[in-house]
Amino acid sequence: MTRTQKIEEKFFKLLMIVATFFIFAVLAIIIYSIFEKGLKSISWEMLTQIPHGGYYYGKGGGILNAILGSLSLAFGATVLAFIIGLPVALYLNVFLIRHKKVIDVIRFLLDLVWGIPSIVYGAFGFSLMIFFGLQTSLLAGILTVTLFILPIMIRSMDEILRTVPIGLQEAAYSLGSNKSEIAFKIFTRQSISGIITAVLLSFGRGIGDAAAVLFTAGYTDHLPNGLLEPVATLPLSIFFQLSSPVAEVQNRAYASALVLTLIILIVSLFSRGIGKRYHKTKINF
Amino acid sequence: MYLLNREQRHAVNYTWMIVSLLMVAFLPFLLFFGLYLKSVLILHDYSLTDLIFSRIWKPSSGKFGFYPFIVGSVWVTLVAMLITAPVCLLTSIYVTQYTKKFFLRIMHPAIDILAGIPSVVYGLWGILVIVPFISRYLGPWMGVKTMGYSILAASFVLSIMIIPFILNILIEVFRSIPMELKEATLSLGATEWQTIKHVLIKKALPGIIAAFGFGLARAFGETMAVLMVVGNVVRLPKSLFDPGYTLPALIANNYGEMLSIPKYDSALMFAALLLLAVSLFFNLVMHFFIVRFNKY
C-alpha cells in the first residue's frame, strides 16, 4: 500500500464515521428538543380538557378533542384498511403463489401507490367528498387515511406472509384443507406477529399524517361525536397552535407535539415487543 | 358451530378477497382519473405549457402560473438530496462493511424512530432549531440577511426526513451483494476502500440510483414540514436563503378558499395531478433500476 492509498483509506473511513454519527446526532437533537420544549408546557389540564373559549388566545383548556379525534380517526382507518388489506395479502400468497408474473404486477402497483404523497390522497379524498355530497367529517377523514395506509399495510403483511414456507401449505393441502382455510387459519396464525406489526405500523402512519386529513376531517373544538361530524386531529392542532402569535399557545403546540411523538413511539415499541411475544405459536422449520 | 358449511365459507372468503384485490388494484388509476376529471376545467382553458411556465399567480384575476411553485419544489428537493445522498451512502457502507452485526441492531431502531416521527413534528423542529440557526448564525456568517424561513431550511428538514427511506433501501442493497465478490477482490490485494470504490459501488449502482430516486419522489411530495419552514412567498427564489413556495404547500395552504374563486379548485387539483404524475414517474423508473439490480 502506498502512502496516498493509506491516507485515502483513512480519510473515507473517517468520513463514514462522521456520516453515521451525524444521523445519530440529528436524531438525538430532534428527540431532545421536542422533549425539552414539550415537558415544560405539558400539564394535566391539557390532556383532559377540551379548548375553552379563548383557548387560542392563551386562555384555559386542553387538547383532548384532538387526542381523541386522532385516535378514533386512526383506529377507524386501521380497521378498515385491515379488512381490505389482509385478504389481499393472503390472496397474493396463497391463491396466486403459482402465478409469479401476476404477483409481481400487483406488488409493483402497490409500491407505486405507496409512493404517492399524502397531500394527493388528501386532494383526491376532498374531490370524492364533494362528489358524494359529504361535509368534512370523521367518515371522510377515515376513508382518506384508509386509502393512504392501505398500501403500507398490505405490503408489510405481504413481506411477512411470503416467508411462510411452501411445505406448510403442502402439508395443509394433504390433510384436505381448501385454499381459504389455509389462508385464514394457517397463514394468519403462522404470521400473527408480523401482521400485528403491520397493523401497528399503519396505525402510526395514520395518526401522524396531517396532509391527508387537512381537507377531509375538518377541525372542531368539541369531542368527536358521530361519523358525520368534523373531528380535530393532533397534527392539525399542532399546526394551528404553532401559527398563533401568542407565546403561550405556541408552548401548547410543543406539548401537543410531545403527546403525538409519545403515542407514535409507544406504538412502535409495542410492535417490536409483540414480534418477540408471539414467536412461540409459530411452527419452526 | 358455523352458520355456513365449508364450501359456502370458502365462497364468501374468496369473494371478499377478490373484491378487495380489485379495489386495491384500481386505486392508482382511480386516483389519476379522479384528479384528471377535476383538473379538466383548467386544462380546457389554458394550455399545459402555459400553466407550467407562466410566472404570475393571481387566482382572483384568473392567472394561474405554476412556475414559481415548480421551481421552488425542484430547488428544495435537489438541495435536500445533495445533503442526504452522501450521508446515506457513507453510512450504509459503514454499517454494512465495517461494523459488527450488533451495530445494525442499534441502527435499525434509530431508522425506525426517524421514519416514525410525523412530518408536523419535523416542521416544528425546523422552526425551533433550523430556522433560528439559519437566521442567527449561518446567514450572518455567509453575509446574507435572511428571515430563516427559506429554501435552505426546508431542504435541511427534508433531508433529515428522507434519510430513513434511502438508508433502509441502501442497507438492503449492500447486504444483498454476495460476500464472495468482496473476498475475491480482497484476496487479489485490493484494500478495503478500493474494493468498495471499484467493486461494491459499481455492482450496487442500479440499487443506489433507485434508492436516491425513491427518496427524491418522497421529498418532492412532502407537505407539512416544508410548508412550515419554507416561507410561502410566491416569487422565484434567487438564492438558498430566499423564501419560496412548493407545490404541496400551495395545495395545503389554499384548500379553504379554493371553492370561493372560479377555477381555483380545478387549479389546485391540477397541482395534485402534477405531484401524482411526478411521483408515479419516478417510482416507475426506479422500479426498473431495482429489477436490474436484482437481475445481476
With beta carbons under 8 A apart, name residues in chain B contacting A24.
110
CA-CA distance, B276 to B219, in Å (whole number)? Answer: 13
Q: How far apart are CA B199 and CA B190, in angstroms?
A: 10
Query: How many Cα atoms occupy the beta-carbon half-sphere of A152 within 13 Å?
Result: 22
CA gap A232, A214 in Å, rounded: 10
C-alpha cell, B154? 426546508
Q: Any idea which architecture A55-281 has in CATH?
A: Orthogonal Bundle (1.10)
Q: How many CA atoms lie within 13 A of B87 on its CB side?
A: 23
Measured CA to CA in angstroms, residue B209 lies from A64, A107, B119, B178, B201 at distances of 45, 20, 25, 19, 11
CB-based contact B20 A20, cutoff 8 Å: no
Q: How far apart are CA B224 and CA B69, in angstroms?
A: 15
Q: Which residues of A55-70 are buried (b: 16+ CB within 10 A; e: fewer)?
A: bbeeeebbbbbbbbbb
Residue in B120, B252, B276 closest to A116 by CB: B276
- The pLDDT tens digits for B140-181 are 888 777 888 899 999 999 999 999 999 999 999 998 888 888
> Is B63 in a helix, a strand, or coil?
strand
Under 8 Å CB pairs connecting chains A and B tally to 233
CA distance A7 to chain B (A): 11
Those residues of chain A that have pLDDT short of 50 are none
**Residue B164: how many other CB atoms lie within 10 Å:** 22
Domain boundaries, chain A: 3-41, 55-281
Measured distance between the N- and C-terminal CA atoms of chain A, rounded to whole angstroms: 48
The residue behind cell 384555559 is: A60
Q: Could you tell me if A222 lies within 8 Å of chain B, comparing CB atoms?
A: no
- The beta-carbon neighbor of A87 closest among B17, B34, B93 is B17
Give CA–CA dist B150/B245, Å, rounded.
9
Please name which of A46, A11, A31, A24 lies closest in space to residue A253, comparing C-alpha atoms: A46
What is the Cα–Cα distance from B230 to B247, expressed in whole angstroms? 12
Distances (CA, A) of B200 to A251, B29, B193, B206: 49, 38, 10, 11
Instruction: Tell me the ipTM for this assembly.
Output: 0.90
Partners of B10 on chain A (C-beta within 8 Å) are: 178-181
The answer to whether B120 contacts A210, with C-beta atoms less than 8 Å apart, is yes
Closest C-alpha among A250, A260, A158, A171 to residue A207: A260
- In one-letter notation, the amino acid at residue B104 is L
B108/chain A closest Cα distance in angstroms? 11
| Cβ contacts of B228 within 8 Å, gap of 6 or more | A239, A242, B120, B123, B124, B126, B127
Contacts of A29 in chain B (CB under 8 A): 129
Q: Nearest-CA distance from B262 to chain A in Å?
A: 16
Which residues of chain B are under the pLDDT cut of 70?
1, 296
Report CB contact under 8 Å: B31, A238: no
Residues of chain A with Cβ-Cβ distance to B129 below 8 Å are 29, 33
Per-residue pLDDT at A3 = 84
Q: Which residue, among A208, A98, A84, A264, has the nearest Cα to A157 in the 3D structure?
A: A84
Q: Per residue in A181-220, pLDDT tens?
A: 888 888 888 888 889 989 999 999 999 888 888 888 888 8
Contact assignment for A112 to B284 by CB distance below 8 Å: yes
Is A143 near chain B, with CB under 8 Å? no
CA-nearest of B152, B136, B126, B158 to B238 is B152
CA distance B187 to B182: 9
In chain B, residues with a C-beta closer than 8 Å to the C-beta of A26 are 160
B195, B186 in Cβ contact below 8 A?
yes
> Which triple of cell numbers denotes residue B198?
471499484
Nearest chain A Cα distance for residue B163, angstroms? 8
CA dist A73 and A130 (Å) reads 20
Contact residues, chain A, for B221 at CB < 8 Å: 116-120
Instruction: Show the cell assigned to B232.
Output: 410561502
**How many Cα atoms are found within 13 Å in the side-chain-facing hemisphere of A43?**
10
Short-list B181, B219, B231, B208, CA closest to B90: B208
Partner residue facing A147 (CB), from B27, B192, B220: B27
Contact A249, A57 (CB under 8 A): yes
CA dist A126 and A144 (Å) reads 8
Query: How far is Cα B87 from Cα A15, in angstroms, rounded to an integer?
Result: 9
**Domain parsing of chain B, residue ranges:** 6-45, 52-295
Inspect the interface and report whether the beta carbons of A30 and B117 lie closer than 8 Å.
yes
**In chain B, which residues have their Cβ closer than 8 Å to the Cβ of A118?**
221, 223
Q: Chain B contact for A7, CB < 8 A?
A: no
Residue A72 vs residues A64, A233, B65: alpha-carbon distances, Å: 12, 9, 39
DSSP state of B117: S
Q: Which of A1, A5, A16 is the best residue to mutate to test the B interface, defined by the most B CB atoms within 10 Å of its own CB? A: A16
Partner B contacted by A17 (CB < 8 A):
yes
Q: How much is the pLDDT for B266?
A: 86
Contact criterion met (CB < 8 Å) for B28 and A85: no
A124 touching chain B per CB within 8 A: yes
For B52-295, the fitting CATH number among 3.40.640.10, 1.10.3720.10, 3.40.30.10, 1.10.150.120 is 1.10.3720.10
> Greatest CA separation found in chain B?
79
